Amino acid sequence: MKKKITILLIICVNSLFSQINTQEFDLLKTQIPEESVQLLVNSNTLLVGEFLYYKSYHIIPENSSLSDISLLNYVVLLSSDNHVVFNHKLHVKNSISSGEFFIPSTVKTGHYKLISYTNWSKNNIENSFSEQDIFVINPYNTETTNNATNISEKKVEIIKTKTLNKNVITDTYLGFKSNKTSYTSREKVIITVTNKYSNLKSSSISVRKIDSVNIINNIKNKEVTTTYKPNTYYLPELRGELLTGKITSNNNASVKNKSISLSITGKNFIFKNVSTNNSGLFFFTLNEKYSNTIAIVQVQEPNAEDYILEINTQEFLPKHLEFKKLLLNENIKDWVKRQSINNQIENAYYNIKTDSIISRNYNKPFFYPLATTYTYKLEDYTRFKTIQETFVEIILAASIKPDGDDYKFVVNDYLNSEIVIPFFNTEPLVLVDGLLITNNSDIVNYRSNDIDKIAVVIGQYMYGSKVYDGIISFKTKNNDFSLNDISPKGDYIKQITIEKLENKKLYYSPNYEQNTSLLERIPDYRNQLLWLPNASLNKGENTYNFFTSDNLGTYEITIQGYTESGNLVKVNSFFTVN
């Protein structure tokens, strides 16, 4: 099925790239169903100094099943003046993604919108994104967002009430019980979850303190947004992130079948090249993990200066969002003060209570392992002052020759010297930290002592839209070769910033049965005792445990997830810490 969809995508992309016209969209949607997003958060009311945790599910509305269409999800927090507080890009696995955001003291008190969408869901007339209302309280700044020009006259008030809202939600096929209903500070809590669903997908477990602080005249969080008709349509990111653009000619030269290269430089570099279509349009699919946010795109042609390169942005800021004035009742003053003190204490020990980042397995260079035979780590040899001397004395698999005012690299293919070469006028691909070199003088005249190693791939190599007579890849000691180190400058080469994927994490949860002597000296005023966005609930019994904190009060355990048929299942329970 996905192979058939990919062929359709190629047809559409050859016409117009990531933004497609009505006819192409109509063709695609006959094979790709509509996709929507459901967004969950740990809390809708937060103080600065706290973490907002969120999770997105991808759904196919047509049959309410989970969607595996998009590999990327986008989550944005917007203020009432259309300021982007954060913009997260997340990898989707098994139809879900999750992340978090620490709310800094620069965020004003006010009403915010957290939205979640995919590139494909942006085409929906309804449900183009999911939204959650987020109310932020900043006790350190008297400024609010209430005076923004597009805020409505409607009001929302945060007020302390006399009773806690303890509505218990149950489900016939999902339930859980804890070993106790009342605990002391730093005591172990054990919950046993009984799951009778055979197809309950990755669930979330949240344990958070609740207070008698409520939102009056609250807004209902929505998946359905204002109905509108898109002016343009967007391709689904089936295989990875789409980076698109186009070239135009400044002298009426052809823009068809021109090679465009992309370099994300650094230790774990990514290099790609593609060809333009008849209209000069191109796209890259990024399905690799990358650690650098700087990308360099350039026209890879002898007459590159004849072209103007443009890169498209994928910013999506929904219109017609309704923001309300946020009022803080006087009776929450003591609650805000107590919460703020607890947050300050927690943040003072942040370096001790850090989350664990799940390490990424970065891709090897695209030519790996072909270069392993001819990889020269220069520290293993006598250092020479220049790159030219280094090639003469050390790099036997390649050489440098004068070529007018420039230099020419040659890969010495001794093993295949008698083979008739089917491609003519090909040159080696020369990279430095993944950056394409089109003026060889830039690397020949580079500081030899700053080069760590040189890898050579022998033989003709077809990659993307080009055929190369071998590959020569330089790696600097600091992996910091950049646009400033090369001479080509002009409209045919662009440096852009791309957002990295958010890291996946294991969130901090202390174990007071271990490291007791160390932990007993560290204050613990957590109000979020547990956040497991990807809890695996197998059919039958599942056991989870965590520890209470020194923050006394009532806590809510919430477990929720989606079945394969797209039904949200949610259960909760309460306990106290005395």
Q: How far apart, in whole angstroms, are the C-alpha atoms of residue 54 and residue 38?
A: 11
Beta partners for 535?
A: 203
Domains and CATH numbers, the chain: 33-228+319-353+508-577 (2.60.40.1930), 362-476 (2.170.130.10)
Q: How far apart, in whole angstroms, are the C-alpha atoms of residue 574 and residue 556?
A: 5
pLDDT of amino acid 15: 43
Q: Is the pTM of this model over 0.85?
A: yes
Q: How far apart, in whole angstroms, are the C-alpha atoms of residue 395 and residue 448?
A: 13
Structure tokens at 539: 């059919």
pLDDT of amino acid 397: 92
pLDDT of amino acid 29: 79
Phi and psi angles of residue 295, each rounded to the nearest 5 degrees, phi first: -125, 145
Residues of the chain with pLDDT under 50: 1, 3-4, 7-8, 11, 13-17, 222-225, 419-422
pLDDT of amino acid 56: 96
Total residue length of the chain: 578
**CB contact at 8 A, 123 and 233:** yes
Dihedral sign of CA atoms 201, 46, 350, 497 in order: positive
pLDDT of amino acid 67: 92
With CA atoms as reference, report the closest residue to 49 among 336, 272, 299.
336
**CB contact at 8 A, 445 and 485:** no
Beta partners for 544?
A: 191
Phi and psi angles of residue 457, each rounded to the nearest 5 degrees, phi first: -105, 120
**CB contact at 8 A, 577 and 185:** yes
